[in-house]
A and B are shown apart, each in its own frame.
Chain A
Amino acid sequence: MLAMFVRLATAAATAGLVLAGGAQAQEMAPDALVKSVTLEVVDIIQNDKDIQKGDRKKVIALIETKVLPHFNFQAMTASAVGRNWDKASADQKARLMDEFKTLLLRTYASALAAYGNQKFDFRPLRAKPTDTDVTVNVRIMQSGSQPVTIDYDMEKRPGGWKVWDVRVGGISLVANYRTQFDNLIREGGVEGLIKALYAKNNSLEQPSVAGAQKK
C-alpha cells in the first residue's frame, strides 16, 4: 500500500515536472539561457537546408519561436521612445511595440544570415545570485580582428529572465533608435513615428536579402 502510494506520488511528481518543463526553462540562469538559445539557433541554422539557401521566412519563424519569447518588447519600445512614451495612448503603444518588434525581427534575421561559422565565447556571469538586473556577455571570435562583443541586458521578470537591450560592439540597439524616434515624434507626433515604422517595415519586403547568403 505504502509502496504503491510512493509510486503514484513519484509518477505524479514526474508528470508535474514534465508539465512544468516550460517553467523550468524560465528559471534558467540568464547566462545559461543566452548560451542554450544561441547554440540552439546556430545549430538549426547550420543544419537547415532551406535556411542555408536563403529562406528568409524560415529564419524569421525560427527567431519568432526561439528568440523573441525571451525579449521584453514593452520595455525595449518604451526605452527607445523615451520621454514621449507617456504621451502615447494604449492603442498607440501596442502599435508601436508591434512595428518596432517587426523591425528588430527583420534586422535580426539579416544579421543571422551573415553568420559564417564564427566561434562564440560565452563569458562567465559577473553578478550576485540575488541580482535581478544583469548583463550577459558573449563574444564572437574572428581572426585578424578584435572579438565582437554582444551584451544582453536582462531583467528577472515573473515569467523568467527577459532581455531589454542588446549591445553589439558597445552600440545599444535601444539607445540607437532614441534620437531617430525623437525626431520623428517631433515632426509628426506619435502617429508619425508609427507611420514611419510601418513604411520602413513594408519597404523591407522587396530587397533580396538572399544575396547576403553568399560567403
Chain B
Amino acid sequence: MMNRWARIVFLALLLTVAAGCATTNGGDARDPIEGFNRAMFSFNDGFDQAIARPVATAYREVLPAPVRGWVRNFFANIADLWIGANNLLQGKPADTVTDWARFAFNSTFGIFGLNDVASEMGLEKHNEDFGQTLGRWGVGDGAYIVWPFLGSSTVRDSVGLIPDIHFDPVLRHKPTGVRYFMAGTRGVSKRADLLDASRIMEEAALDKYVFQRDAHLQRRRSLIYDGNPPRAGREVSRAEEPASGAGKGLEAAVRLLEQPASPAVSTGG
C-alpha cells in the first residue's frame, strides 16, 4: 500500500515539475498542471455520475437517517485518534485531549462510536490531517493536483496523504475482506453526506473545475488556520497576489509566524 502511494506521489511530483516548466500564458500560478488536472477532473466526474453518486443516492434512500448517522459517527470516531495526534504535532495539546476524550467517551458511552455523545457533552469535533500539520509547520500548498478517485489535493497535501493512509485504522484492518467493506462503506457514507453540497456547487458554478479548485484551496487554507485565517483585504484580486508558488509558501510561513498559536487552542469555548 505504502509503496504504491509513494510511487504515485513521486510520479506526480515529477509531472508537476515537468508541467511547471511549461506553464502557458493566462494559466493560474497555483495550477501549473491544469491540463492534466482537468483530464483527471472529468474522469472523476464521469466516475461520480456513473457510480459514486447513484450508489450514494441509493444509500440515502434506503437507509433511514439515524442508521446513516451511526455509520457516519462510527468512522468519525475512529478518525479522532489520528486527528488528536495531528493536533499534538501542531502544538495544540488541549485539542488533542479533546479529541482523545471524544474517542474514549464515544467508544464506550456512545457504543463503539455509533453515537456522538461527546459533541452533546460539549467536546467539539476537529478536522485535522497531516497535510494541515505540514501547513501549520509552514509548508506552502505547492501545485494543485487532482487525483483519480481522491479528487482535489496539492503537492503538500499529497505528501500528507502518506502518513494519513498509513495510520488509518480502517485501512490497516485485517482480514482484508472486512477492510475493503469498511473502506467502501465509509466512502459511500461520505459521498452521501455531500450529495446536497455537490448539487449546490453544480448550480452555482460557471466553470465547475475552477469553482471546485478555488473552493478547495480556500477551504484548506481555512482548515490550516482552524477557521481563522488572516483576513484578506476586500478588493484584493488574484492578480495582486504573489505569483510564484515559492512566494506563496513563504508568505504562508510568515503569516504563521505572525499568528500567535493561542487562538487555535481556545476553540473549545
Contacts and interface: CB of A to CB of B under 8 A. Distances in A.
Interface in A166-214: 167, 169-172, 175-184, 186, 196-197, 200, 204, 207, 209, 212, 214
Interface stretch (A16-24, A32-40, A45-53, A143-151): A143-151
Contact of A183 (B72, B193, B207, B234): B207
A68 to B, nearest CB: 17
B232 A170 contact: no
Nearest to B119: A143
Contacts of B200: 107, 110-111, 114
B72 A145 contact: yes
Nearest to A113: B196
A106 interface: yes
Nearest to A114: B196
B219 interface: yes
Interface residues of A, number: 44
A176 B72 CA distance: 29
Given A144-B76, A169-B219, A197 B206 contact: yes
Contact of A212 (B61, B72, B196, B215): B196
A53 B232 CA distance: 40
B115 to A, nearest CB: 8
Given A149-B227, A175-B214, A180-B211, A200 B206 contact: yes
Chain B interface: which size bin?
35 or more
A146 B227 CA distance: 11
A170 B214 contact: no
A107 B204 contact: yes
B160 interface: no
A82 B227 CA distance: 24
A170 B229 contact: yes
Contacts of B237: 82-83, 178, 182
A171 B76 contact: no
Contact of A170 (B28, B65, B116, B222): B222
B260 to A, nearest CB: 15
Nearest to A124: B269
B203 A145 contact: no
A141 B116 CA distance: 12
B57 to A, nearest CB: 9
B141 to A, nearest CB: 14
B30 to A, nearest CB: 9
Contacts of B234: 79, 164
Contacts of B115: 143
Which 3 A-B pairs have CB atoms at the shortest separation, nearest pair first?
A: A170-B222, A82-B237, A114-B196
Given A170-B222, A180-B210, A204-B203, 14 more contacts: A82-B239, A106-B203, A107-B200, A114-B200, A145-B72, A146-B126, A149-B227, A164-B234, A170-B218, A170-B229, A175-B232, A181-B206, A200-B206, A214-B61
Interface of A: 78-79, 82-83, 103, 106-107, 110-111, 114, 135, 141, 143-147, 149, 164, 167, 169-172, 175-184, 186, 196-197, 200, 204, 207, 209, 212, 214-215
19 contacts: A79-B235, A107-B203, A110-B200, A110-B203, A143-B72, A143-B115, A144-B69, A145-B72, A146-B124, A170-B218, A171-B219, A171-B222, A175-B232, A176-B214, A176-B215, A204-B203, A207-B203, A214-B61, A215-B65
